[in-house]
Structure 1
Amino acid sequence: MKTTTPPSCPFHAGAARSAPASHPPGTWPPGPPSGLTGWRFLRAMSRDLLGALSAWRDEYGGMVHLRIWPEHQIVVTDPERVRELLVDHHDALVRWERAIEVFAQVHGHSTLTTEGAAWRTKRHALQPAFTPRAVQAFLPAMAHAADAAFAQWPRSDAAWAIESAFTSLGMDVIVRMMFSSGIVADARDAERAVHDVAVAGNAEMYWPRSWPDWMPWKARKRRALATLDRLIDGHVQARMALPRAEWPQDLLTRLLALHVGDPVTWPLKAVRDECMSTFLAGHETTAAALTWWSWCMAANPSAQAAARAEVDAVLEGRLPAAADLPALDYLGRTLQETLRLYPAAPILITRRSVRPITLGGWQLPARTMFGIPLHLMHHDARWFQQPDAFRPERFAPGAPAIPRGAFMPFGTGPRVCLGQHLALAEMTLLAAMFLQRYMVEAPAGMAPPKPVFNITLRPETPLTLRLTART
């Protein structure tokens, strides 16, 4: 599957260059009047983040200044400026401290939450496990997990809980890759825990500090964190109890090899943190994308039929292998278009500049914050005609070129998603196996599901669709 972001370094190849300063220091891009503090912007964003950002973008342009005392934030939605920020100025940026504080409650000090030399060390050590070649080794485990899961799905259901089913499947796949075992019997508990942690984390983002987790009203979050800790810590401790000669070749063994080789840099706590991040990000991206893809297939029967015909022609009824995925070209386009309409991470983690930078001609001081809402860029009519329509042909050879940076569901720059190759391969394989076995329809009179942002993008109410097994 093609993206507009190259998968490998150097990130500066062909990057946009910083425009010369054309505005005097001390001036800011246009934006809504803030009043005394601008805190009303926080209320608007907590109610409907994507809606508020979209309204400001439409009124003020691709760089919008929000004065939210004591901070200055620039919301950047112009593709050229986004690449200029994340590629040319990447070494002048850190992630927003409050977001990292909230994420660290679950992820610890993993690659997701670290900065500087610690992040570079972790990223360099983990990169070999997520290259396209390394990902191929996991495809048989993915296929067998999907085959077992689909065998348990009903042959017909007028209101099948497809979102929950894809979430369970995503969890099972990532647990097999990480720990060489399927998801345990309390999969429903794990699913609820992930949801509760995401909702709690998203709510806490809008406050400068969090109430302690022992407060009575945070019991659900406490239970969720305990459930996830038992899941991850249980696998790590069970592996450590085995003789090394019996360790299977999976992601946990790769991490424990780092621990054995350098226990100072890679203590067991660091192994646990990376396992937690891989589990959460590894299944959530795929589950969210396949949930939205199933809706797009149900709402667009002709696209579903074309993708199914391609799958049948390429696979001829067998399980997909690595060599088959590039041939599933149209299926890949349906997934790309789904990621455009419903990016799993619709807003990148806010950045902060550690020194003055010039962006789009504006001279911005150190400590300026930058928000990058990918969802708005993916729905901009300047880059995508009929932006709310499902049109996989946007990504076909010969289609009008998409401006570089306008479509980047996995981000860009040195912080581009470490697991992008894994996610794309897994989504393609699972979608192909689904189409081999099932047809999906929207129940009569069903309204399009409303996207809701809770760290990732999910339907406001759990998605159910009409499921029918192929004869």
Structure 2
Amino acid sequence: MNIPRPPGPRDRFFGLGMLRSMARDYLGFWGRAQQTYGDSLYVSVAGQGTYSFMDPDLIRECLVEKADSFVRYEHHMNVLRQVHGESVLITEGDTWKKQRRTLQPGFSPKRYEGYAQQMADAAETVLDKLVSHQGQAFDFEQAMNMLTMDVILRTMFSARVEQDTAAIEHAVCLLSEIAYDDMFYPFSLPDWLPLPRKKAKRRAMQLLDDLIWSHIRRRRASGEQHNDLLGMLLTAADNEGDGSLLSDEQVRDQLMTTFLAGHETTAAGLTWAGWVLASHPEQAFKAAEEVDAVLEGRVPTFADIARLPYLGQVVKETLRLYSPAPGVFMRQAAQDVQIGPWLLPKGSLVTLLSSLVQRDARWFADPARFDPDRFAPDAARQIPRGAYFPFGTGPRVCIGMSFASMEMTLILAMLLQRYTLRPGPGQEQPGMRLQVTMRPEGGLRLMLAKRPARPAGPAAPPASAPGCPYQHA
């Protein structure tokens, strides 16, 4: 049967040349293909058909309307399973639904007031220390990595990290890099092989496992009750199912996913937010004015999130331009399914890339320009559904979406209370490096200047950052 397929690039070597191009620059490969062939694309690699849709209506058809016709691509999940185990990120069907129900209370609004306090405590500690960098360029990405690590450990375990934070951060980055590379191979070599990269992976996994297991065992031994994610998981029962509790292994898997996803993606989002605030002083000034007027120098709380609408728009626009997770996990058709005019046979793969759709001039005028007013209420209503999905959409939308948005908003509010940012000497517009999450190529070096605790009265916006050609980009 000859099934009509969308157009797309081809090569003569079973698509292996295209696979190498994807591994080098995944977003660039699909972006160039869209420019040449349009919004519906098809490629074949070693006989495996892969579709990509850039039209918002077709994206919603895949992720919302016909979500039950897809599962996550098994090979990618097998790569991630090595670290995440059988967590909510990996599982499918009834197992996933049960895990989602079990985890949902940990991400309910009634818990967010406590989470906000823990976030603010962590932010005060880290941000106050940044004053020592005043007048010199410093590694802003590393600072955000350390801050979000502290936040996630406080909310998970009601504890500060006791291990070497630099070693933990290195382990997280190494595992992301290896996972991204492994996703472009049709199979994964066994981890027990005595290869240097495998040894490094085993050490990194052991370090993170020790971190998670030490808290589980300590809590079990003490019998203490804490209002944190670990406490919730240890007592959580699936009241809509059989009412069973989670095993320690299941608790470990959910905590590992929460730690990696909750720390790494938020750190990337805050890093990019630092760049846009440093390179767009007018918008940064407007956000700081709002923060000063609402907070009057005090520490923000969960209730303040709704009172900082412009800062919320800054967060949304940052995530539009620089999605930390620029594509939802690749889907695989569990059955023949019709998407728009195309019949996707069972087993077909689908890749949906938020980063490309969110930079499309049809949905966002002058898309490379940083403009938080795109998300003002009236303007936001004009954005087509399916054109903005930095956390995914549909049944498998990121369970931590509200948590991450709150964390970014609170931390940025406290950052703006204390400092103004500008690019460090020689720091130009960073390239985007994709390794599961999207990070600035080569890191990000910024400079800061301490602000008064609260401005005494109205002031003129600061002059454009000297030597920064991207302030109106």
**SS, match of residue 153 in structure 1:** helix
Q: Which has the higher contact order (CA 8 A, sep 6+)?
A: 1
1:431 Cα shift? 0.5
State which drifts further: 129-138 or 402-411: 129-138
1:347 correspondence with 2:324:
no
Partner of 1:238: 218
Aligned residue among 145, 148, 171 for 1:170: 148
2:101–2:238 Cα contact (<8 Å) kept: no
Runs of 5+ consecutive residues of structure 1 not aligned to the other structure: 1-23
Partner Cα separation in structure 1 for residue 245 and residue 49 of structure 2: 36
Aligned residue among 265, 268, 273 for 2:253: 273
* Matching residue's letter, 1:248: H
| Cα deviation 1:14-54 (Å, max 9, x = unaligned) | xxxxxxxxxx9611111112425112110110111111110
Partner of 1:386: 366
1:363 correspondence with 2:346:
no
1:185 Cα shift? 4.2
1:256 correspondence with 2:234:
yes
| Cα deviation 1:321-369 (Å, max 9, x = unaligned) | 1221111111111111100000010011100011111111112211111
1:452–1:459 Cα contact (<8 Å) kept: yes
1:135 Cα shift? 2.1
Partner of 1:465: 446
1:296 correspondence with 2:276:
yes
Aligned residue among 345, 354, 357 for 1:374: 354
Partner of 1:433: 414
Partner of 2:458: none
Partner of 1:136: 113
Aligned residue among 413, 421, 433 for 1:452: 433
Aligned residue among 292, 316, 341 for 2:296: 316
| Cα deviation 1:429-468 (Å, max 9, x = unaligned) | 0110010111110124421111100000001112110122
Partner Cα separation in structure 2 for residue 86 and residue 422 of structure 1: 22
1:284 Cα shift? 1.2
2:102–2:237 Cα contact (<8 Å) kept: no
Partner Cα separation in structure 2 for residue 150 and residue 33 of structure 1: 50
Alignment of 1:3-22 (within 5 A): none
Question: When the two structures are superposed, what TM-score results if normalisation uses the length of structure 1?
Answer: 0.92
2:316–2:375 Cα contact (<8 Å) kept: yes
Partner Cα separation in structure 2 for residue 260 and residue 45 of structure 1: 41
Partner Cα separation in structure 2 for residue 137 and residue 443 of structure 1: 36
| Cα deviation 1:90-109 (Å, max 9, x = unaligned) | 11100001110011111000
**SS, match of residue 416 in structure 1:** coil
Structure 1 outlier segments of 4+, above 3 Å: 259-265
- Pairwise CA RMSD: 1.7
Aligned residue among 22, 28, 32 for 1:55: 32
**SS, match of residue 398 in structure 1:** helix
* Matching residue's letter, 2:255: C
1:216 correspondence with 2:195:
yes
1:68 correspondence with 2:41:
no
**SS, match of residue 65 in structure 1:** strand
1:260 Cα shift? 11
* Matching residue's letter, 2:269: A
How many residue pairs get aligned? The number is 446
1:183 Cα shift? 1.8
1:95–1:349 Cα contact (<8 Å) kept: yes
Partner Cα separation in structure 2 for residue 355 and residue 260 of structure 1: 29
2:238–2:244 Cα contact (<8 Å) kept: no
1:25–1:363 Cα contact (<8 Å) kept: no
1:190 correspondence with 2:168:
yes
Partner Cα separation in structure 2 for residue 438 and residue 182 of structure 1: 25
2:335–2:346 Cα contact (<8 Å) kept: yes
- Among all aligned residue pairs of Structure 1 and Structure 2, give the percentage whose two residues are the same amino acid: 42
Distance 1:321 1:112, change over 3 A: same
**SS, match of residue 121 in structure 2:** helix
2:148–2:267 Cα contact (<8 Å) kept: yes
Partner of 1:19: none
Distance 1:231 1:119, change over 3 A: same
1:34–1:68 Cα contact (<8 Å) kept: no
Partner Cα separation in structure 2 for residue 172 and residue 187 of structure 1: 9
1:34–1:67 Cα contact (<8 Å) kept: no
Partner Cα separation in structure 2 for residue 233 and residue 409 of structure 1: 31
1:96–1:350 Cα contact (<8 Å) kept: yes
**SS, match of residue 408 in structure 2:** helix
1:25–1:364 Cα contact (<8 Å) kept: no
Partner Cα separation in structure 2 for residue 210 and residue 38 of structure 1: 19
Aligned residue among 60, 63, 68 for 1:83: 60
